[in-house]
Amino acid sequence: MSASISAFILTFSTLCGSRVVSGVLSPPTNVSLTSYNMNLVLRWDPPDQPASGLLYTTEYSSILGYNVGCVNISTLECDLTNLKDSISEYGKYTGRVRVQLGTESSAWVESNQIALDRDTVIGAPDVSLFSNGATIEASIKDPVFRISSLRDVYNLATYNITYWKDGQKKKNRSISNVQQNRVVLSDLDPWTTYCVQVQISTEKHPNPNPTHSVPSAVVCESTTIEEEAPWVAAVVTFVVMAMAVAVVVVAVVYRKRISHFLCPKDALPEHFKEYLLAHPNYLDMRNSHPPKEIFDPVSIIADGSILEEGLPLEAAGTSCSQQPDTT
């Protein structure tokens, strides 16, 4: 009895839920059209009274009226980017969606309107760092657009490069309006880790926030030793060269005097030569009267009463400690 009542209630509520009884399907909710990197995607939530077997059909408008989007799909989003009538990067679009169940359809629900170049969210650029002495080079790659490319849509796109010493993000410095995709950060301390983050600005949003363009991931790299400025090397080279030239010139000009000094022509007195030949090791003369070394004899007498005869010191110690056991 109670089982049939609950079965009846279940059937009734299911029928009410799908609104098949009334013949009117409730429409999808929260319909929104979004764009990321120049795609065009319509999203929605199920009707307030969801039922099983619901299908959705979407359309999107351009100047010429509505184009067919996704038909009879069961998912809650439709990618409108690459359908038969492809979208334009400067187009304005509105989407709409309705629910279908069997032969019945709900009313259409319209989305917000989007101007692709103004409203698309520009994805994060890809940043790589290369350390070179006390400088760091940042190499930036633009996000890939689904239609067209960043530089084609925004001729005046620039990078805002923010960098800081690792752990001191509050004391960041930034370079804005950078157009090249390779930038050398040069006013850095040696042997220090720096972190870099890049965000893209466009003419549509000169001061972007993350809903316009996503900042890149933070990447960090360390500088190494301070590189010598090129002029320092030049000066050092010049000084070394000048000194070498001076030495050569002096050597040439005073050639005679120098050779005279190194190889004197004046002969030693004859008797001095004879003496040297007669006493080849005359240098030992200086050592011929060594100073008298004074020393006192020291005698070391071992204490024979403790050391057992023939035993080294260590062994003797061991035998001493074991003495109580043996006696």
- CB of 221: closest distance to ligand NAG in angstroms? 16
Q: Return the residue matching tokens 């098949």.
A: 20
Which span (168-176, 181-189, 272-280, 296-304) binds ligand NAG, by CB under 6 A?
Answer: 168-176
Contact 60, 43 (CB under 8 A): no
Q: Is 92 in the site for ligand NAG (CB under 6 A)?
A: no
Three-state SS for 23-44 is CCCCCCEEEEEECECCCCEEEE
Q: What minimum distance in Å lies between the beta carbon of 158 and ligand NAG?
A: 8
Q: Return the range that interacts with ligand NAG (CB under 6 A); candidates 166-174, 181-189, 221-229, 311-319.
A: 166-174
Among 9, 10, 15, 71, binds ligand NAG (CB under 6 A): 71
Residue 132 backbone phi and psi in degrees, to 5? -140, 95
Closest Cα partner for 195 from 227, 225, 172?
172
Q: Which of residues 18-47 bind ligand NAG (CB under 6 A)?
A: 30, 32, 43, 45
Contact call for residue 174 and ligand NAG (CB under 6 A): yes
Length of the chain in residues, anyone? 327
Q: Is 100 in the site for ligand NAG (CB under 6 A)?
A: yes
CB of 224 vs ligand NAG, minimal distance in Å: 25
Question: Considering beta carbons, is residue 36 or 316 the nearer one to ligand NAG?
Answer: 36
Residue 2 interacting with ligand NAG (CB under 6 A): no
122: which DSSP letter?
B
Are 77 and 41 in contact by the 8 Å Cβ rule? The answer is yes
Among 14, 82, 168, 176, binds ligand NAG (CB under 6 A): 176
Six-digit token string for 6:
């609950």
179 binds ligand NAG (CB under 6 A): no
Of 26, 160, 213, 223, the residue at the interface with ligand NAG (CB under 6 A) is 160
Q: Is 148 exposed, middle or buried (0-12, 13-18, 19+ CB in 10 A)?
A: middle
User: Element (H or E) spanning 54, and its range?
Assistant: none
